[in-house]
Amino acid sequence: MSMTSSASKDGPQSVNYSIKEGLLRIDVVTAKSGGGIITDFKNKQMIILMPQQKMYMVRSMADSGEIPAAAGAPAGAVPAARAAASGSSFKDTGEKETILGYPCEKYEVISAKGSKADIWATDQLGTFGGFTMSGGPGRHSQAPQEWENVIKGSAFFPMRVTGTETSGKTFKLEVTSVEKQSLPDSLFTPPSDWRKFDLGAMMGGAFPGGFPGARPADGNN
């Protein structure tokens, strides 16, 4: 995927989105840095990857409170219900377009605060697991945008999203290629030579090496 935002100072972001049987890995690369996150939906945990430091951090996933789909309900039932619960609107515009060979329909999401997103989504690429990145040590987590909250967990995979925030800033997400292939299990685990960042050990040790930072609890570089 390619992501651009008028609010970003890092320029376009390149996103690799890998899915395998309840596992999701997202790798983001900008002109200045990169990072990744692995989501294990079965074990309800997220592994935040910090390639510059060759480290990773594990976080438990809170219950999402997702709205289950009723048997026989249309594909748009969950997004519509989730939008209504948050005071947003979700509308099928009736427009259709084929993107990279996948038939897509255009949906519109308007948040309670007035932000707007147009989503061209397909129902042929499985469940959308979201792609908002969580913050590592010394970084702030990025809150999901409303359109992402609305369609996450549904059978709508976004092939293109354009939107305008309440501040007037714009953004665009676009899938640039889709590859169906066998993915190794190792793709969804941190490399064996990386070290686990243990925030609890750092706090218990009176922050040896300083906090926040990119060094592990033993204080080594």
Q: Note the pTM of the prediction, 2 decimals.
A: 0.76
Helix (H, G, I), strand (E, B) or coil at 26: strand
What's 2-62+78-204's CATH class?
Answer: mainly beta
List C-alpha distances in Å: 81 to 69, 77, 89, 93, 129: 9, 6, 9, 17, 17
* Domain boundaries defined on the chain: 2-62+78-204
Centre a 10 Å sphere on the Cβ of residue 38 and count the other Cβ atoms it contains.
21
In the prediction, which pLDDT does 74 show? 63
> What is the pLDDT, as a whole number, of residue 217?
38
Contact partners, residue 184, CB within 8 Å, separation at least 6: none
| Separation between Cα atoms, residue 125 and residue 128, nearest integer Å | 8
Q: How many CA atoms lie within 13 A of 52 on its CB side?
A: 11
Helix runs in the chain, H state only: 77-85, 146-151, 199-204
Q: What is the pLDDT of residues 119-170, one digit of tens each?
A: 999 999 988 888 755 444 444 445 578 898 898 888 889 999 999 988 889 9
Average pLDDT taken over every residue of the chain = 80
DSSP 207: -
User: Has residue 210 got a pLDDT over 50?
Assistant: no
Q: Where are the beta strands (DSSP E) in 181-221?
A: 195-196
Q: State the pLDDT at residue 205.
A: 43
Model confidence pLDDT, tens digit, residues 84-125: 888 999 999 999 999 999 999 999 999 999 999 999 999 999
Which segments of 30-109 does DSSP mark as H helices, in order? 77-85
Asked whether 111 and 91 are in contact (CB, 8 A), the reply is no
Give the list of residues 6+ apart from residue 221 with CB closer than 8 angstroms, or none: 215
Segments in 38-145 forming alpha helices (H)? 77-85
Is residue 26 a contact partner of residue 37, using CB atoms and an 8 Å limit? yes
Q: What is the pLDDT of residues 4-27, one digit of tens each?
A: 888 777 778 899 999 998 899 999
CB 174 within 8 A of CB 158: no
